[in-house]
Amino acid sequence: MFKEKKYGRTAKNIPKGFNSANDFFEYLFNNKDIIWMGQNTNHLHEEDYIYNGMAECLKSREYSKYPPSEGFSELKKLILNDLNLNDSDILISSGGTDSLYLAMNVILEPQHNVITSDPGYLIIDNFASRFANDVIQVPIYSEECDYKLTPKLVKENMNENTKVIILVDPLNPLGTSYTSKEIEEFAKIAIENDIYLIHDVTYKDFAREHHSIANYAPNNSITIYSFSKIFGMAGLRIGAMISNHDIISGVKTIIINDLGTNIVAQAGAIAGLKSKDKWLDDVVKTTRNNQRLIKSMIDNVDDVFIVNYPSDGNMLAIDIEKTGINSEELAEYLLDKNIFTRGGNYTSPNFGDKYLRVSFSIPEKEVKIFNQEFPKAIEILRTK
């Protein structure tokens, strides 16, 4: 009989009225009026560079062929160039998610433990738990550590079995990011202890500054890259992992999709990187302005605050603990108004009740609707 895996993920917090998470997301997908603030995706691309790149690929009908299994060289070079890591090795994957899984698989042995943060992007923790003995979720929901996993916290929590430190930079859900000094300190810890840093840079282009760990610890780091956020290509499922030759060679021996990554997505990714300097500023400018609009609204609502402002991502967390409102209830209330946000439990086992996560790489007029509805939601739910 089928036996559930010890690390199997049970679906939590399925919104009321839905039988499964899939039903919920299909409902969201099919409801074209939904304001999409619940997935950190980017809805701001109005130009056609990426679209045209994919359209050309479709017209050529070359999708009848399998692509080269590790990705087109042109795309690999463009990503390495974007990261300024031209001497590294790279593997194209079906999203940062695949790369995160492969990174855990290639490094971890059953005696190891992994250090990560709470709040954090919990899918990584789940992947780690499949290969390691323990996942140490360091609490970071505190001003004392600037709401991030610091080198000091890592030193306090690591032991002789620690093999991986996960740095999501900027962090989903709080938007905290790292200075060059901190990145250098992390690199030192990794090299001295013969361990690996997984540097997930999915949100790097929204940040005011970004520093690559691979520049300081090329042999002790794996960089995770995604086309889902700044490129606005989440539905295309494409990303990459970048590391030294040994690690990437090791990964090539354990990849699942031996027949390569979607050829249309690769064409879009190539077009996205080639045109990046033409659209990046506009996307970032609108995103930052949206964040300012949300901040002005939040400043006028009693008992709530933005946990980390400004966020260096395209999402932020709004602390609602003092209102006494449950974050899932707030998310459900807003969904009734066609605004999709996320209760904190999606990104935190221990602090999830305290905050609502909202992303804001969406048109300004939609942010304004959120800004009208959020204060009303707080007033109505507070009196319940």
The helix (run of H) or strand (run of E) holding residue 166 is strand 162-168
First-to-last alpha carbon distance for the chain, in angstroms, is 47
Closest to ligand PLP by CB, 92 vs 297, is 92
Query: Which residue has tokens 């600037």?
Result: 146
Cβ proximity to ligand PLP, 121 vs 279, nearer residue: 121
Alpha carbon distance 169, 175 (integer Å): 8
- Using the minimum distance from each CB to ligand PLP, give the nearer residue, 95 or 352: 95
Name the minimum Å distance from CB 97 to ligand PLP: 3
Pick between residue 191 and residue 234 the one whose CB is nearest to ligand PLP: 234
Helix (H) or strand (E) run with residue 212 in it: none
Identify the sign of the CA torsion 265, 271, 274, 277.
negative
Nearer to ligand PLP (CB atom), residue 228 or residue 361: 228
Nearer to ligand PLP, 225 or 333 (CB): 225
Take residue 60 and report the two structure tokens written for it: 């050529």
CB of 236 to ligand PLP, least distance (A): 9
Tokens 């760990």 label which residue? 213
Using CB atoms within 10 Å of the CB of residue 37, give its burial: 0 to 12 exposed, 13 to 18 middle, 19+ buried: buried
The pair of structure tokens assigned to 126 is 């789940």
Q: Which is nearer to ligand PLP, 37 or 297 (CB)?
A: 37
Angle between helices 263-274 and 73-83 (to 10 degrees): 40
| DSSP one-letter string for 53-114 | HHHHHHHHTGGGSPPPTT--HHHHHHHHHHHT-TTSEEEEESSHHHHHHHHHHHH--TT-EE
Q: For the CB of residue 38, give the shortest distance to ligand PLP in the complex, in Å.
A: 10
- Antiparallel, parallel or unpaired: β 89-93 and 113-118: unpaired
Which residues contact ligand PLP (rule: CB under 6 A)? 40, 95-97, 121, 168, 172, 200, 202, 226, 228, 234, 239
Specify whether the CB–CB gap between 140 and 370 falls below 8 A: no
- Residue among 95 and 119 whose Cβ is closer to ligand PLP: 95
DSSP letters for 225-243: EESSSTT--GGG--EEEEE
**Minimum CB–partner distance for residue 239 and ligand PLP (Å):** 4
The CB-of-98 to ligand PLP minimum distance in angstroms stands at 7
Least distance to ligand PLP, CB of residue 383, Å: 34
Min dist. Cβ of residue 103 to ligand PLP (A):
11
Q: How far is the CB of 23 from ligand PLP (least distance, A)?
A: 20
Q: Minimal CB distance to ligand PLP: which residue?
A: 95
Nearer CB in complex with ligand PLP: 89/200: 200
Nearest approach, Cβ of residue 39 and ligand PLP (Å): 7
In the three-class reduction of DSSP (H, G, I as helix; E, B as strand; rest coil), residue 308 is classed as: coil
Of 335, 326, 320, nearest to 15 by C-alpha is 335
- Count of alpha carbons within 13 angstroms of residue 256, beta-carbon side: 10
Residue nearer to ligand PLP on the CB measure, 91 or 304: 91
Residue 221 CB, nearest distance to ligand PLP (Å)?
A: 16
